[in-house]
């Protein structure tokens, strides 16, 4: 997803409560960053296929083990950064913890997965990752390329340091460290058109 211009309203800055009220009425999604509301534009079919495929396999493997899987439309609240985001995929160990009385905003992901695009790659690997790392439950971050067989895996070790593993090439097998899950890149990227433009996402 791409971050675009703020929601067209007279106000420039909003409280979290105002954002949630506006978002519940909106037909399109927005992120909330430090009192500003930022429009998210649509993604490519590649983006959708990759997020859906890995989420579906996570659900098939982990649901019976007591994990909850979310994709796309569920918001994440990052208190330390005063931020709401829509991660592509989230895995929660056990029951979800919600912000407030709504079940549309969770606070305790174990694993977050983002499908990268040209317009969001730096944001997803930089400022957004900085914010995600302040979430106490968060232990593993997966970044999936749309344009080649390539995945970055960041895992938090016992010393609190984040370690990077690269998976490159269709023969590689992604193995998550925090849950019992693996998936070949060949299977994940099946039917992905690497010639598709990703400029619009």
In contact, 102 and 74? CB cutoff 8 Å: no
Rg of the chain, C-alpha, whole Å: 17
- Digit-coded pLDDT (tens) for 147-173: 999 999 999 999 999 999 999 999 999
Q: How far apart are CA 156 and CA 153, in angstroms?
A: 10
Tell me the C-alpha to C-alpha distance, in Å, between residue 121 and each of 107, 124, 161.
23, 5, 22
Q: pLDDT: is 183 or 72 the higher one?
A: 183
What is the pTM assigned to this prediction?
0.86
The strands making up 30-33's β-sheet, listed across from edge to edge, are 2-6, 36-41, 30-33, 83-85, 75-78, 105-106
* CATH code at 43-188: 3.90.1570.10
pLDDT band at 174 (very low <50, low <70, confident <90, very high): very high
Highest mean pLDDT among 20-34, 121-135, 139-153: 139-153
Which pLDDT score is estimated for 42? 63
pLDDT higher than threshold 90 for residue 27: no
**Domain segments of the chain: what residues?**
43-188
Tell me the C-alpha to C-alpha distance, in Å, between residue 148 and each of 37, 88, 162.
32, 18, 24
């Amino acid at each position: 997803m791409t971050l675009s211009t703020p929601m067209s309203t007279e106000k420039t800055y909003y409280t979290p409560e105002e954002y949630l009220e506006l978002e519940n009425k909106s037909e399109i999604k927005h992120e909330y960053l430090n009192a500003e509301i930022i429009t998210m534009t649509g993604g490519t079919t590649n983006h959708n296929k990759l997020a859906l495929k890995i989420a579906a396999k996570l659900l098939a493997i982990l649901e019976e083990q007591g994990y909850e899987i979310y994709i796309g439309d569920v918001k994440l609240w990052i208190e330390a950064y005063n931020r709401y985001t829509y991660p592509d995929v989230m895995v929660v160990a056990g029951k979800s913890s919600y912000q407030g009385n709504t079940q549309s905003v969770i606070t305790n992901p174990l694993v977050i997965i983002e499908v990268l695009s040209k317009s969001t790659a730096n944001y997803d690997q930089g400022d957004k990752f900085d914010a995600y790392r302040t979430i106490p439950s968060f232990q593993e971050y997966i970044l999936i390329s749309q344009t080649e067989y390539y995945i970055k895996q960041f895992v938090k070790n016992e010393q609190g340091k984040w370690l990077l593993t690269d998976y490159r090439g269709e023969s590689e097998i992604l193995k998550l460290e925090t849950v019992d899950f693996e998936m070949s890149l060949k299977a994940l990227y099946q039917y992905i058109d690497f010639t598709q433009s990703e400029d619009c996402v």
